[in-house]
Chains A and B, each alone.
Chain A
Amino acid sequence: AQSVTQPDIHITVSEGASLELRCNYSYGATPYLFWYVQSPGQGLQLLLKYFSGDTLVQGIKGFEAEFKRSQSSFNLRKPSVHWSDAAEYFCAVGPSGYSSASKIIFGSGTRLSIRP
C-alpha cells in the first residue's frame, strides 16, 4: 500500500537560513508526488508537484524539491526562509497512471517554526 513518511514532526530554523524537509514514500511504481503548505486555520496550497521528467522541480514561494528514486525520497528545500514560511508542510503521494478521481495520500506533516 502507498504511504508517505515525514520523519520530522517539528522543525525550527532561523530566518534567512536554509531549509530541508524530509519526505519518504512507499509505492511500487513511480508515484506522483506533491508538497502542500497549510497556514494556521487555512486551506492547503500546492507548492509543487512531480509527475515525471526532471527530478528537480521548482515550486512557488522559492521552494524546490528533488525526487530521488534510489532513496524513495522527495525532500523539500528552500535556500533562505522567511518568517512567513512558518506553517505546516505536507508531503503527499498519488498513484501513477491515469485514474479518474484518484485520492491523494498525505504524510503526517512537518510543522515549521521560524526563529527571528
Chain B
Amino acid sequence: AAGVIQSPRHLIKEKRETATLKCYPIPRHDTVYWYQQGPGQDPQFLISFYEKMQSDKGSIPDRFSAQQFSDYHSELNMSSLELGDSALYFCASSPPGPTGSYEQYFGPGTRLTVT
C-alpha cells in the first residue's frame, strides 16, 4: 500500500540558511499534518492543512511557514535556521470522513541537522 512520502530524508544546513521539506500524502488523503521531534523527545504538532487551507496551528515558529497545494502535497519552509531546529520532521496524512482526521499515517520523516 502507498505510504506518505517525505523528501529529502536527510538534510544538512548551516545556521541562518533556509530549508524546504516536502510531503506527499497517501492518495485520496486530504489532510496533512507536520510534527517536529527533537532528540529524545515526543513528536510536537506544528501545523495542519485540510483541503489546502490551514486548519490547526501548534508550536510552529514564525520563521516557519507551510502550505498545501492543489495536489494535496505540502511543503514546510524553514528560514533563518537555528541549531535548535535540528530534529526529525514528520508529515502525516489522513483520509476524509468523520473520523478520518484521527487516522493519521506518518511518513518516515526528514532528519534536519543544522550546523
B56 adjacent to A43 (CB under 8 Å):
no
Using a Cβ–Cβ cut-off of 8 Å, how many residues does chain B contribute to the interface with A? 29
Q: How many A-B residue pairs have CB under 8 A?
A: 68
Chain A contacts of B43 at CB under 8 A?
44, 90, 106
A100 adjacent to B45 (CB under 8 Å):
no
B90 adjacent to A106 (CB under 8 Å):
no
Residue A43 contacts which of B31, B55, B90, B102 (CB distance < 8 angstroms)? B90
A98 adjacent to B42 (CB under 8 Å):
no
B33 at interface by CB-CB < 8 Å:
yes
B residues 78-112 near A (Cβ < 8 Å) are 90, 92, 94, 98-99, 101-109, 111
B102 adjacent to A44 (CB under 8 Å):
no
A residues 8-36 near B (Cβ < 8 Å) are 32, 34, 36
Chain A, interface residues (CB within 8 Å), range:
20 to 34
B72 at interface by CB-CB < 8 Å:
no
B58 adjacent to A103 (CB under 8 Å):
yes
Chain A contacts of B94 at CB under 8 A?
101
Residue B33 contacts which of A90, A103, A105 (CB distance < 8 angstroms)? A103
A107 adjacent to B42 (CB under 8 Å):
yes
Chain B contacts of A42 at CB under 8 A?
108-109
0/1 per residue, B17-60, Cβ < 8 Å to A? 00000000000000101000000011111001111000110100
Given A90-B42, A101-B49, 12 more A-B residue pairs with CB atoms under 8 Å apart are A32-B99, A32-B102, A36-B106, A44-B90, A51-B102, A98-B99, A99-B101, A101-B55, A103-B56, A104-B33, A104-B102, A108-B42
| 7 A-B interface contacts by CB (under 8 A) | A43-B108, A44-B106, A98-B98, A100-B50, A101-B55, A106-B44, A107-B42
